[in-house]
Structure 1
Amino acid sequence: MEEKDLIEKIRNPDTKNYGFNLLVREYQERIYWHVRKMVIDHDDADDLVQEVFIKVWKNLDKFREDSRLYTWIYRIATNECLNFLNKKKDKFFLPINDVAAELSSKLDSGSYISGDEIQMKLQKALLKLPDKQRLVFNMKYFDEMKFTEIAEITETSVGALKASYHLAVKKIEQNLKID
C-alpha cells in the first residue's frame, strides 16, 4: 500500500483503526530491529516497540506530512531508544562502559546473533560506541540508509552524521584490532 493511501485511511475517522493496524503491520518488524540493535535485549525491544506505536497512535493528528510517515515513526523509535538508554544509565548510576558491559553480557546470553564469531566481535565493538554513534552506524551500515534520510530522522546535519559515522568506523576498527 502506498504511504499516501495509508495516511488517508488513518486520517479518516471511519477507517482510522484499520489504517493504524495496517501501519503497525507495515512498520513493526523494521522498527523492532532498529530498536533491538540499540537495546540488545528482546524484552526491552518489545516493550519499546509497543511504546513507539502508542506514541504514534496518540500523535497521529500531529503528523504534518512534512516528512515520510516511516521517517516520522523511525524518529519516534530513535528517541525512545536514546531515552531508554539514558534512563538505564541514570537509574543505576552507570557509566557508559558499565552499560556497554551489561548489553554485551545480554548479547552473549541471548539469541540476538545467529552468526559467527566475527559478527559477535562486531556487535561487541558496536556496544563500546557512544549511543548516537552506534545509532548512526546501525542506520547507515545495517539499514543501508542514506545520510539524508538519517539526517531527517535524527534532525542532524549530513556533515555531522558523516563525521559521526567516520569516527564510529575508526573506533570499531580499533576495537576489532584489540580483540
Structure 2
Amino acid sequence: MLEEQTLLEDLKQTETQTRAFETLVNTYKERLYWHIRGIVLNHDDADDVLQNTFIKVYRNITNFKGESKLYSWMYRIATNESLSFLKSKSKKMGVSNVELQETLLNNLESDVYFEGNEIQLKLQKAIATLPEKQKLVFNMKYFQEMKYEEISEILETSVGALKASYHLASKKIETYIKEN
C-alpha cells in the first residue's frame, strides 16, 4: 500500500515525523479506541491504554520492519497493552481476572459513556464469560467487522483456529443469553 509506505517513511524521518505521527493518530485512534474499549470495558481505562499504545508505537516505529501491515502491528500493540493493563489492574485490586471482569461489567451499567440498552449489556456480560482469546476474536469479528485474515495477522494465529474460536464464542454467547 503506497500511502502506508509513504507514512512509514515520513515516520522514520526526523523532519517529517511529527506531522506523520499526527496523521497516524488521527487515522487510527477511533478504531484502536473501540478495540481497546472492547477489552477493558471502561472509557477512562481505554483512553489510558490508547495513549500508552501510541507512546509504544512512537517509540518503536523505527523498529517496524513492515512484515505486517502497520495497522495490524498497532492492533497487536493495543491488544497486548490492554491485556497487560487488565492483569496489572487485577493485581493492584487483589482480585482474580474473573472478579475484575465482573466489577467492570457492573460498572458498565453506570458508565455515562456506555450507550447500550439492556440487550447490549447482556451481550457484554456474555462476552465477559469467554476465555481471553475467544473474547478477542469475537470482538474483532463481530463489532469491528474485521476479516479473519486481518485478525490472523494481529493475533498471529491461523484463520482456521480463528474460525473455530469465533464459532465456539458465538455458541457460548447464544447459550448465555438464552439462560440469563
Instruction: Identify the TM-score tier after normalising by the shorter chain.
Output: over 0.9
- Give the distance between the partners of 1:88 and 1:130, measured in 2 at CA: 18
- Counterpart of 2:57 in structure 1 is 56
Q: CA deviation at 1:39?
A: 0.6
Would you say the 8 A contact 1:129–1:168 is kept in 2? yes
SS at 1:2 equivalent:
helix
Higher deviation after alignment, 4-13 or 15-24: 4-13
Amino acid at match of 1:13: T
Amino acid at match of 2:106: S
Measured on the aligned residues, the alpha-carbon RMSD in Å equals 1.5
Q: CA deviation at 1:100?
A: 1.9
- Give the distance between the partners of 1:137 and 1:44, measured in 2 at CA: 21
Higher deviation after alignment, 106-115 or 49-58: 106-115
Would you say the 8 A contact 2:76–2:155 is kept in 1? yes
Higher deviation after alignment, 23-32 or 162-171: 162-171
Q: CA deviation at 1:97?
A: 2.8
- Give the distance between the partners of 2:57 and 2:110, measured in 1 at CA: 32
- Give the distance between the partners of 2:104 and 2:131, measured in 1 at CA: 13
Higher deviation after alignment, 67-76 or 89-98: 89-98
- Counterpart of 1:172 in structure 2 is 173
- Give the distance between the partners of 1:104 and 1:168, measured in 2 at CA: 18
- Counterpart of 1:146 in structure 2 is 147
Between the two proteins, the alignment pairs up a number of residues equal to 179
Higher deviation after alignment, 115-124 or 89-98: 89-98
Structure 2 residue runs of 5 or longer lacking an equivalent are none
Tell me the TM-score normalized by structure 1: 0.93
SS at 2:145 equivalent:
coil
CA 97–38 in structure 1, closer or farther in 2 if over 3 Å, else same: same
- Give the distance between the partners of 2:91 and 2:175, measured in 1 at CA: 28
Would you say the 8 A contact 2:87–2:97 is kept in 1? no
Higher deviation after alignment, 122-131 or 52-61: 122-131
Q: Which consecutive aligned stretches of 4+ in structure 1 deviate over 6 angstroms post-superposition?
A: none
- Give the distance between the partners of 2:91 and 2:170, measured in 1 at CA: 27
Amino acid at match of 1:83: S
Mapping 1:56-135, distance limit 5 Å: 56-135=57-136
Mapping 1:32-51, distance limit 5 Å: 32-51=33-52
Q: CA deviation at 1:98?
A: 1.0
Structure 1 residue runs of 5 or longer lacking an equivalent are none
Higher deviation after alignment, 64-73 or 81-90: 81-90
Amino acid at match of 2:176: N
- Give the distance between the partners of 1:89 and 1:9, measured in 2 at CA: 39
Q: CA deviation at 1:138?
A: 0.4
Deviation track 1:71-94 (CA, whole Å, cap 9, x = no partner) reads 111110011111112222333342
- Give the distance between the partners of 1:53 and 1:96, measured in 2 at CA: 25
The share of aligned pairs that are identical, in percent, is 54
Q: CA deviation at 1:169?
A: 0.8
Higher deviation after alignment, 112-121 or 98-107: 112-121
